[in-house]
Each structure stands twice: as C-alpha cells, then as structure tokens.
Structure 1
C-alpha cells in the first residue's frame, strides 16, 4: 500500500475533485465518518459545510484541507468493507480518527485506490500537526495495515521491466496501470532520445504526457536530489500520484540521468548541422512565432517557445524526431537563441471573437508557447470552476450570527 498525503487550503477544490469523478461514473462514495446523515442522504453542501464549519474555527490557519489517497497494487482485490476497515485503521494511525471525513473509491486508474477528504482543524480550533505526518505516523500506519490485512508490501513490490514490444504513445490516465505505462515510456525515451539536460528530457517526456519532477528548489526532495515521475492530463496538469524514480526498473534517478547527459552530448553532435540547415531554410523568409513552429512541425521538428507575459521568448527547445535529438536554441548557435528568435519572429496575429480581439488560442503542448512561471498546480487541490456563492453566503450568515 502506498499512502499519499496532500495538504492545502481549498476544501471546495478537494471535494469537487472527488464529486466530479462520481458524476463521471469513475468514483463512488463508500464511507463517511462524523456526519449526521447517511452517505446517500448527503448533499454537496452537507459534505462541504461539515468540514468548512470546523475549518472556520481557526481563521489564522493557512492550511485546512487534507486530501489522502491510499493506493494498492494492480491485482489486489479489495471489497468495499475491507477498504472501510483499512481507512478506519489508517485514520486512527495518523491521529485523525475523531475528524469528519469522506471516503471515495476511484476506478479511474489501473490500480485500486481510495481518496479521503478531511480537515486538520479540530472542534476546539486546534490544528492537527501535519509536520512530517507522511514520513512518521503515515509510514507506521501503512506498515501495520499491510501486516494486518495481508497486503502486498510497498517496499517488496518487484520492479517491472519495460516491455520493449509495447506500443509507445501518449498516456491517458486511467486507461492502463500507471507504473507499467510510465516504465514502458521511460524505457523507450531513455534508449532512443539524445538529451543533455533535465529540461530537454522533459521536452520529450511531455509528448507522452509524462513529466519528471525534482520538486521546488526549497523542498527536501530537491535538496536530496530526489526525482519522481508524474502523468499529465490533457491540460498539462499533474494527475494521480507520482512514481519514485528509485522504484522504477533500472532506476532512472537524477544521478543516472546526469550520467547520460554527458554521453548524449557526444552522440547528438553528428545531427547538429542538419538541424541548423532546416532552421535556416524556415527562417529564410519572415515568420510569425506560430508560423515558425508550424513549418518546423511539418519537417518533423516540434519546438517549444517559452514566453513571458509580454510575449518575449526566454527559452527555446527543438526536438528532431527523425534523429531523436534534443537541442536548446543556444546550443545551436547565437542565431537560434531565445533572444535572437524573439527579435526576429513576428508576433502572432490576433483573432476577432465576439467583437473583441484576442490571441490565437493554443492547440496543444508541442510547437506552442508557454507562459513564464507557469507551474502546474497539484490537481488534487486545483480550485474547480464552481460557484462559491453558497459557501460565502454560509460564512456570512455564520459571522453575522456571531456579531462579527
């Protein structure tokens, strides 16, 4: 069993994530604890306000949402009543047994898993300490549950070899077992492509809806040179749970990747001049940014232009699909650097929609632009496009009743 704990400040977002899965037929509410109605009689507001009422007891707390997923290996058959017992033991083990919570069984991935939504604010307004919760209490609870329920132990699961005959195409979360799919794609990409940096590797992986992630620069994972792999949804947001590099066959850790960077720098050299020749042909006539990318795509060279809010290009990467090589513009020469291309390429034309002009819409990840600092928020806590009027109205009534 693998437990993943996410914390945040949007109860509405966490609840909406699970309720939307229910609407799509991909999840089922199998248990509630600390609610005053049966699960089948609870409305969305009933579910939300029970947690929001407790969260409101501590207005100073920046974190009031806890969203947990318990994940089991593919092939482990667990009935709902067994999952309820596992969740009960787990919540007791991490000190949340008296908190209200909702348990959803999800069927949107290739492995069995449940999501738990709760709050860390207690009735008296005190906060349950979340510091090292995953490393300490959660790990102890996990190990005890694996023994009690005779589950496959997380640290004893065999590493799956990549299937060299598997069809390698963009991942669609939930259609196949996550770890198996990521293993197959990584095996292919690391064998076939010649990249020389972490961003260049991600430029390739994101073609397949996968991203390698070191964590934020101030995180413990980054400091310890850790690495995980995420599956991305159609919007490029991380979805599901990450897979540790060390748990994948052949361990594609940061250290191993860095060893490949130097070797690949030599292996890609013979293909540099041909790529420059193609770029010169495309740049021989005036090009808009989008036209430049389209012309390259037609020649089998997806390109990524990273732009700031003002539209200035601050980074560019080219992927030669024929020769499986990846180059940053500056590695090809000054003429192909971000600064030079930003000065040379014309802005994209505006389109007129509903009486107003706007930029031409994006059409995908590759061959398109991205905005500076556009880091993907964790999907579990992405604030849904949900009208919050009901919640705000509830809080206003509560404050008015307290004469605040």
Structure 2
C-alpha cells in the first residue's frame, strides 16, 4: 500500500477531479464519506468550503491522498474493505474521522486498486489539522494497515519492480553518456528516497540507519564537525552518490539527527513528570508575572518620587 500525500488550495477543483464528472468512463465511485454530500462535485465542494470558512486565513485547506495497492490485491479489496482502510489511514495520520469532513472515491481506470481521499484540514470544531510530518506518518500508517489486513508489503513490491521492470523512461530515452548518467542518478535517488521513507523514522542513530539501508544495497557516508555534530550525509547506490538534501530536505544530516533525538527528548521530559506543552506554559506564565511585578515596582518608585506614570508605565501594567 502506498499513500501519496499532497496539500492543495481548491476544493471545487479537487472534487471535480476525484468525481470525474466530465469523464464518467474513468469509473469514479464514492465508497465512503463523512460530513459532505456526494451527489455532485459542486455540492461536495460547498460542504467542504462551509467548514473551511471557519479558518479563512488557511490557504491550503485541501488534504489529498492517493492510496494505491498492488494489482494482486484486487479480489481482496472490495469497496467495504477499502472504506475501512481509508478510516484506519486517517487515524494513522492522527485525524479523527468522526470530527472531520472527508470523502473516499475509488477509481477504476488502472489495473491496480486505488482510491482518492479528500480531507478538510479544518475540522468540525474549527481547528486546523497540521500537515507537518505528513509523509512520515503516511508511511507508518500504510505499514500498519498492511500488517493488520495481511496486504502485500509495498516496500518489497517496489524493490522487486525495480529489479524486474528494466530501465525507466528517462533511461530508455537517454541518447548520450551525459543523459544516461543523469537518468541513472535520478533512479538511484528515487530508490534511496523510497528506502529512507521506510527506515528513517524507525531508527534512532546513523549507525542503525546505515545498517537498515545496507540490507537494501544502499550505503551511508557521514561527516562530522569537530564538536561531533553531523555536518553532511551522502547515500551511495549502484555507484551513484546522492546527498541527503538532494533526496529530500528531511533527509539532510541535521534533520535526520533531529529526528533521532526527538524520541529521547520526549522520554526525558516525560520521565521528569512534565509534558513539553506544560513546561512551556509555566515558563511563559513566570515571564509574564515577572514583567508585571517589575512594572508595579517601577510605578511604585515613581509615586514615591511624586512622579505621574507615563504612557510606558501604563502600558507595562497591562502585561499579564
């Protein structure tokens, strides 16, 4: 199972695309929905936009996910099962399917089963659904669903296809050594990116990441600064060298290290009996109280000298 996540601006355009009203031969079929009408693209978009209006400043409110499965799963995946999978996927993305507008539309224009999930990033309480870490969460959600439903593992399919399908279109069209080298490098980068999407969030150090990538025929070279912090990372595959940032911004050395450190920071915070949000709130409250006390002290000193509070002093008293 593979999920491709995108964030877009227009509900009307997205609803027209997934429902394929202008191309009924594509076989678009609504299999599940919550909080929106499904009789037409216009009605569906109106319902999405009515809730979106609670957050008028949110430019990209449309979460669009294409969920695809291997052709071998065609018999297993009827509409009922795919509807359940869509809701499990939403939960895996930390989206409450009972408090969010969404619609799932299955397309029958390809040999493999696939569906399109349209979600409002403004929930029914008017809160914005974050799109941070959407790619990594999607990978984790897909892996859990594969295990729960006994589906073919997409990572294994991808590696098998890479060995069997032969050259990519760019490789086939290459007419010079330079074009061939560029096409080969692009394919290597794609293979590295696929492997990282399945491994980077499952490990907690560069050593562990290197070991997991090694199983997929990918090498990892890390350079460090004098203080020991990571300076750069390069991945090697089939004779090609690809910087982490060239695969994706989240795979730069610094961002990978931040991902490794995040679980440790959370564990340390929880072991101290204090959640991160609570700690930040306490710090903010203490800062506000300190400023208020300083303002009162300044005002008191001015009164003792027979001075009239100026505008800055009045402004200081408003803090808190």
Q: TM-score range by the shorter chain?
A: 0.5 to 0.7
Q: Distance in 2 between matches of 1:130 and 1:76?
A: 29
| Matching residue of 1:73 | 70
C-alpha spacing 1:94/1:160, structure 2 compared with 1 (3 Å):
closer
| Matching residue of 1:23 | 23
Which whole-Å deviations, capped at 9, do the CAs of 1:299-326 have from their partners, x for residues lacking one?
Answer: xxxxxxxxxxxxxxxxxxxxxxxxxxxx
Q: How does 1:258-277 map to 2 (within 5 A)?
A: none
TM norm structure 2: 0.52
Q: Distance in 2 between matches of 1:194 and 1:258?
A: 19
Q: How far apart are 1:140 and its partner, in Å?
A: 2.7
Q: Distance in 2 between matches of 1:250 and 1:59?
A: 48
| Matching residue of 1:91 | 90
Higher share in helix: 2
Secondary structure of the structure 2 residue equivalent to 1:115: strand
Q: Distance in 1 between matches of 2:93 and 2:57?
A: 23
Q: Distance in 1 between matches of 2:147 and 2:121?
A: 27
Q: Which runs of 5+ in 1 are unaligned?
A: 164-179, 206-211, 215-220, 229-245, 261-404
Q: How does 1:4-403 map to 2 (within 5 A)?
A: 4-20=4-20, 23-26=23-26, 27-35=28-36, 39=38, 42-77=39-74, 78-96=77-95, 97=97, 98-136=99-137, 138-157=138-157, 158-160=159-161, 180=165, 183-186=166-169, 189=172, 193-196=175-178
Task: Please say if residues 64 and 117 of structure 2, whose CA atoms lie closer than 8 Å, have aligned partners that are also in contact.
Answer: yes
Secondary structure of the structure 2 residue equivalent to 1:117: strand
Aligned residues: 201
C-alpha spacing 1:188/1:23, structure 2 compared with 1 (3 Å):
closer
State the superposition RMSD in angstroms.
Answer: 3.9
Task: Please say if residues 55 and 121 of structure 1, whose CA atoms lie closer than 8 Å, have aligned partners that are also in contact.
Answer: yes
Q: Distance in 2 between matches of 1:82 and 1:51?
A: 25
Which whole-Å deviations, capped at 9, do the CAs of 1:166-222 have from their partners, x for residues lacking one?
Answer: xxxxxxxxxxxxxx5xx45449628x7323158x957xx9xxxxxx699xxxxxx99
C-alpha spacing 1:142/1:185, structure 2 compared with 1 (3 Å):
closer
Q: Distance in 1 between matches of 2:182 and 2:108?
A: 31
C-alpha spacing 1:69/1:227, structure 2 compared with 1 (3 Å):
closer
Q: Distance in 1 between matches of 2:50 and 2:64?
A: 17
Q: Distance in 2 between matches of 1:151 and 1:162?
A: 21
Q: Which has the larger radius of gyration?
A: 2
Q: How far apart are 1:149 and its partner, in Å?
A: 0.8
Q: Distance in 1 between matches of 2:22 and 2:236?
A: 41
